[in-house]
Amino acid sequence: MELDVASREALGGLGALFSDIDDTISTDGKITSAAYDALWRAHESGLGVVPVTGRPAGWCDHIARMWPVEAVIGENGGLYFRLREGAMERVFMDDAATRARFRQKLAAVRDRILREVPGCGVASDQTYREYDVAIDYCEDVPPLSDRQVRRIVAIFKESGAHAKVSSIHVNGWYGDFDKLSMVKRYVKEAHGLDIALHRRRYAFIGDSPNDEPMFAYFPLSFGVANIRRFLPVMKHPPPFLTDRAGGAGFAELVDAILGAR
């Protein structure tokens, strides 16, 4: 991983690292020992790691309780969970009634996608979601073509929903948020800072197009090596790439941050 001198020095002053999970902390669907060890080394050094993921609220409850992380932002920015003095704090962008109304609207969109895009499926973690519909295009179904993935995105957008492509799912939702908007809210509420004035206190690492708002916002943003397959279709690629893929790339960045301290 090549860094200019100023960026390498900035790593030493980070307040927290935001990170995608699937294919960033995980590798081929698993959290490797190297990646989990990196999470613990970051935690023990005082570097807060905050996963920022499209995964559901149910997963986020587990992650916030069981992983050595500061907090977790889930469902592409719809919520964040964190433990405070042993009790779980759950923060949502919208109230329960609004979330239920969004889910009801999305049910019709889901059914249309399943009819019009043969081979896709509802993600196996859908039961645990508060906001979005996740359409599986390669996790538990045979991989779909790029054309089919684009069609899923188009149907969401034709229905007035947001749509983001991760490395495994297309997530669609109603509501005025994305990963970056919740990161900004989290930093204000948890750290008491205006992130616009403190961007270089934070870094982000990810692996797919749904991370583009984060790549565009943070000067210290990184893609793990496996993001290369998405670079031709990205408007805002990360300025830095790790040499290694998946969890090994995540560990590589953690090593660089701790080495700069």
- Predicted pLDDT of residue 64: 98
For residue 195, give the nearest of 204, 205, 183 by alpha carbon: 183
pLDDT at residue 166, rounded to an integer: 87
pLDDT, residue 4, reads 82
Instruction: Give CATH 3.40.50.1000 domain extents, the chain.
Output: 5-93+177-260
Domain 96-173 fold is Hypothetical Protein Ta0175; Chain: A, domain 2 (3.90.1070)
The pTM of the full predicted model, rounded to 2 decimals, is 0.91
pLDDT at position 8 is 85
**Torsion sign, CA atoms 180, 224, 131, 112:** positive
pLDDT for 190: 97
List where CATH 3.90.1070 sits in the chain: 96-173
* Residue 70 confidence (pLDDT): 98
The pLDDT of residue 199 is: 93
Classify the C-alpha dihedral 151-152-158-164 as positive or negative: negative
* Residue 16 pLDDT: 97
Predicted confidence at residue 210, as pLDDT, reads 85
Position 236 scores a pLDDT of 95
10-residue mean pLDDT series, the chain (261 residues): 84 95 96 98 97 96 98 96 95 96 96 98 96 96 97 98 92 94 97 95 94 94 96 94 98 96 87
**Architecture of the 5-93+177-260 domain:** 3-Layer(aba) Sandwich (3.40)
User: What pLDDT score was predicted for residue 146?
Assistant: 95
Distance CA 249, CA 167 (A): 16
How far is CA 20 from each of CA 49, 65, 142, 205, 224, rounded to the nearest angstrom?
10, 18, 23, 6, 10
